[in-house]
Structure formats: structure tokens, C-alpha cells
Structure 1
Amino acid sequence: MNKKVVRLRRARKTRAKIAELKAVRLTVFRSNSHIYAQIIDGSGARVLAAASTVEADVRSQLSHGGNKAAAVIVGKLIAERAKAAGIESVAFDRAGFQYHGRVQALAEAAREGGLKF
């Protein structure tokens, strides 16, 4: 098995538990160049809010989208957009990624922004 298959296997377990709870989830995906965050409703059918380093207004603040500073900006932005959509509490779905580095920085910034998880 390669790294991607193993990561997706880990992610499947988390998503199954969150789906069982019917909780709104904050999903994170990281690539080498960018980081993405989405808030998805309890049924998993709709994206309620999204933020990433691909957006023009975020890119203007950064030199590179694949570092902790970028993750902090995306974390604060997703928390702000969640508040605007009326969401205060989410389940954190790290998509099989280790809770370390950029994923951790995004989560902590979202918590500072007012999201509860």
C-alpha cells in the first residue's frame, strides 16, 4: 500500500464516526503547495463554508501557500466564514493527516477564531 491509500483508510474511520453523530465537520486537505478547509453539513451533501490558499485575497498575503503561516490565515478565515454562516461547533476531520504542523496550526487558528471542536 502507498501513503495515500493508508491515509484514506485512516480518514474513512474518522468520517464514519462523524457521520454517525450527524455533526457538521471541518475537513482539512493539505498538498505540498496549498492547504484547503471546508465546513460540510451533517449529511455530507453540502459545503457550507470554504477557505484555501488558492483564493486571490489569501495569496496576496502570502509568499507560499504550503507553510504554517498560510495554515493560520486559512484557519482564521474559515472560522470567520463559519460564524457568518451561523456555525459555532464542528467536528474536526483531519482527513487521515497527522495532527501536526500545518494541520495543527489551522485547527488552533480556527479555535482562536471562535469555532468549537
Structure 2
Amino acid sequence: MVEQISTSLDRIFHALGDGTRRRMLADLAGGERTVSALAEPFTMSLAAASKHVKVLEAAGLVRREIRGRTHFCRLDPGPMANAHQWLSTYEHFWTGRLDVLERLLRTEDAALSNPQQGE
């Protein structure tokens, strides 16, 4: 079970690791698109766009439906919940680190605005 989740996360983060694919997902968040429409904002061939879509499909982030000769894609955001859950385990760490940084900066600001306190 853990190995299956790890493999799923690997695919999701691999898919999200590319700016072109993130842009495609953002476009799909607005609704169903053809592979041609997904390729349009980029200077790439339809075959290259299709390869990006296949990576998104392998990660479970996109569902493709073929109607006639046209391939339609739609976003499946469900797998992103697993990635979000994994990332949220580090939220406590970063929140704590940012709290320490905030205290440090406030102390530094106070010392700069009132230099006689340091004497």
C-alpha cells in the first residue's frame, strides 16, 4: 500500500514538475479542452503536446476521451489531494520556521527603530 502511494506521488510530482504540464492543467481547470487546444499556447507539435498529456494521464491528473478523431481532455483533480496531503505534513515545520523568522525580524526592526535600547 505504501509503495503504491509512493509510486502515485512520484508520477504526480513528475507531472507537476514541468511548466508546460502545469499550464495545461491550469487550462483544463477552465473546462474540457482538445489536445490541439492544449498545444496552442506553446510552440510545439501536436505529438509533443500528446506526450505531455500522456504524462498527465499516467499521473491520473487528466482523463482523455476520444470522440471520432478528436481527443478531449478533462482535469481530474483527485490525485492532487494525495500530493497536498503529503505536502501538508511539512506545513508545521515551515510554519514554525516562519514564526521564528517573524520574531527575529520584529526584534531587529525594534532595535533599528530604537537604537538606545541596545546600549
Query: TM-score category by the smaller chain?
Result: under 0.3
TM-score by length of 2: 0.23
Of Structure 1 and Structure 2, the greater strand share is in 1
**Structure showing greater Rg:** 2
TM-score by length of 1: 0.23
Of Structure 1 and Structure 2, the greater helix share is in 2
Q: Which has the higher contact order (CA 8 A, sep 6+)?
A: 1
